[in-house]
Chain A
Amino acid sequence: MLRSVMDSILILAALLNLAMLATSRMAACIRTFAVQSLLLALLPVAVGFSHDAAPGVHVFAIAAGTMGLKVLLIPWILLRVLRSGEIHREVEPFIGFTASVLLGALIIVASFAFADGMPLPSRAPTDLLVPVAVATLFNGLLILVSRAKAITQVLGYLVVENGVFVFGLLLLDQTPALVELGILLDLFVGVFIMGIVVYHIRREFDHMDTHLLDALRES
């Protein structure tokens, strides 16, 4: 039962990567990310129950921290930055939407093939954890390199971070909570600073395209 819930959540999270690659409106993209994070925030609790009938406060703290940061606070910051600019709300990919969805699907297939070759740790709650983590990570990198807007690049970074988060669930009951909270705090401050920089980029260049950021190169 618990296992099928976890598997469904993981599959949905992997599919949301494709949804993000296919979305043309930036606000919708950010909301899709929030939904993905919400699904992932449920996972620590599920994993906790699968290890142990009564999991400690630790898993709830991580779930709550993820929920607060990645579902509420960070999407709110990003949407605010987005609203502060009046123009260019489309995503503007370097790689077309169809092509990037196809690439994303290929990445998912490849990650399942890759995870097949790695020895699965015996304590893994479900064997989908590693492939979904790797797929999310590389889909995030794809978003990062294939989109022109600074804010979509931040989104790509956050999806990469979600992939790392899924992988971290393998070690859920074994890492000190202090370290995990430190990771979340760093993530938050990082996105906060990125938000400020994106705001400055918009003010400086009148929009958020990073392909104008090419003054610095070898003469």
Chain B
Amino acid sequence: MHVLLIVVPVIFAAACIALPGPRLRLASLVLGCAAHLGVTIWSWSAGFGGKVDLFFGIEPLGHLFVSLMSVLFAATSVYFVGYHRKALLSQRIFLACMLALLASLSAVCLSRHLGVLWVAMETASLTATPLIYFRLSARSLEATWKFLLMNSVGIALALLGVFCIAVAASETEPVLSLVWSDLILRAGELNVVWLRAGFLLALVGFGAKMGLSPLHSWKPDAYGEAPPPVAALLSGGMTLGAFIGILRILQICSAAGLADFAGGWLVVFGLLSIATAAVFVVGNNDYRRIFAYTSVEHMGVMVIGVGLGHGGSYASMLHALHNTLNKGVLFFMAGFFWRLYKSNRVSDVRGALHHHPVAGVLFLGGLCATCGLPPFGMFFSELGIVFAAAQRAQWWVLGLFLLTLCIVFVGVMTAMLPMVFGPPPEKLDSVRGDEERWRSIAMLTPAALLLLAAFVFGAYQPAFLRDALCAAAATLQPPATASLAAVPRGMEVLP
């Protein structure tokens, strides 16, 4: 049944191409994403985890990530109805690509075979390319080119990494299967030298796709030039797909006893990413590029979490959840602000709270969430990573982590608080007319719902969510310690 998660969006993508009118196609987008969300919810209640086939299957980590993507795509499809005006690029192709992106990302999450995972990941970046080139301008062309080239080269390196892991396994196995659950079971027999090479190549390759520094340079360009709903999908959805690629290989490495080697590299890349974000956030005058750098930061936090292991893995899963919710809110609001102020420059946007109180409050909430202020979940995930670092006595990691996070916090807040408070600039069009009003509602409602979810799941964590996160984190531990690691020490007191 899990194949439905891949097939349903493909069917609706085909419908998008076939249907005649723009309204019908938009309806097909919303219905397709809603159907995907429906299947996801059904999969949680029915729990079809038992059945697996050769290439696809549901397990806790992939299930969690595909659910996050499903929620984000459903919210984005509603937002897009309000956002979309006139078709620059063929609307047919655009909507079909959006649904195809959902299908290929679901395939990434559900794939059990490393080769299939690679093919699905590459398909995801190819379907995302036309989405970035939405405006058909010179700037968006540049962003598209950088995205396409960096991602293609990155993914080629990741393929080489997968091949190295296959070579590591080929010594003992006459018929090779690249099914990662089999590789984990036979991890002791793998050739360690090739496994290390494979891990590093895959980390660089999938890391380029995830936007880890130093291969993040496409990210601010792509997120800055793509339409905001697409930026939300890329930063909240596609990064998770690349992350799962890294995690699969990490699972194999830690089962083979290379957890410290792999964790060390993850922490290095993570710290470098947060530091890069800290350097480029401060003094930046384009709010969408600032959000892109916060995305680099959050990717860094996620890989540091899994790199530290134990409690860190749980914190990393929690961070992935809140990253998805949060990036949705931020980019939805960025698109709405563009509508209000007709500018991407921080210095042009002033006094949002006066000009449009609802948007101002939502934006402020999104900012607090992204900077990790207490009621929101990112506070707890970052705190969890601090605990994990302290538990392993990695004081340098802890110190650098806190320092760079603080710099990002100050950079984001000093740039963006004036956008919310203060007097608005004169001569602004206000929202008028029935059509504008329903468009605003269609754009603000998904943002409000995602922000509400981020708030609620930060303040109070329901049992099902906690179980899902713990189960996903437990898959990242070496098999022997998995039972101990479900609940990290120190995290019991937190909600």
Contact = CB atoms under 8 A, between A and B. Distances in A.
Interface of A: 118-119, 121-123, 137, 141, 144, 150, 153, 157, 160-161, 163-164, 167-168, 170-171, 174-176, 179-180, 182-183, 185-186, 189-190, 193-194, 197, 200-201, 204-205, 210, 213-216, 218-219
A216 B226 CA distance: 13
Given A118-B194, A171-B166, A174-B176, A157 B142 contact: no
Contacts of A185: 119
A161 to B, nearest CB: 6
B262 interface: no
B180 to A, nearest CB: 14
Interface string B92-126: 00000000000000000000010110110011001
B149 A190 contact: no
B463 interface: no
Contact of A190 (B144, B146, B152): B152
Interface residues of chain B: helix, strand, loop or mixed (majority): helix
Interface residues of B, number: 49
Contacts of A197: 129, 133, 141, 144-145, 148
25 contacts: A118-B194, A118-B197, A121-B167, A121-B170, A121-B194, A141-B153, A157-B149, A157-B153, A157-B156, A167-B160, A179-B115, A179-B116, A183-B159, A185-B119, A186-B123, A190-B152, A194-B152, A197-B129, A197-B145, A197-B148, A201-B145, A204-B141, A216-B221, A216-B224, A219-B284
Nearest to B279: A218
Contacts of B176: 171, 174-175
B172 to A, nearest CB: 10
A118 to B, nearest CB: 6
Contacts of B166: 170-171, 174-175
A188 to B, nearest CB: 10
Contacts, number: 123
Given A157-B152, A197-B133, A213-B146, A118 B119 contact: no
Contact of B159 (A164, A205, A216, A219): A164
Contacts of A161: 156
Contacts of B59: none
B115 A175 contact: yes
B117 to A, nearest CB: 10
B116 A190 contact: no
Contacts of A189: 126
A216 B225 contact: yes
Given A183-B118, A186-B126, A201-B145, 20 more contacts: A118-B197, A153-B149, A164-B159, A174-B175, A174-B176, A176-B115, A179-B115, A183-B122, A186-B123, A190-B122, A190-B152, A193-B129, A194-B149, A197-B144, A200-B133, A204-B138, A204-B141, A205-B138, A213-B141, A216-B221
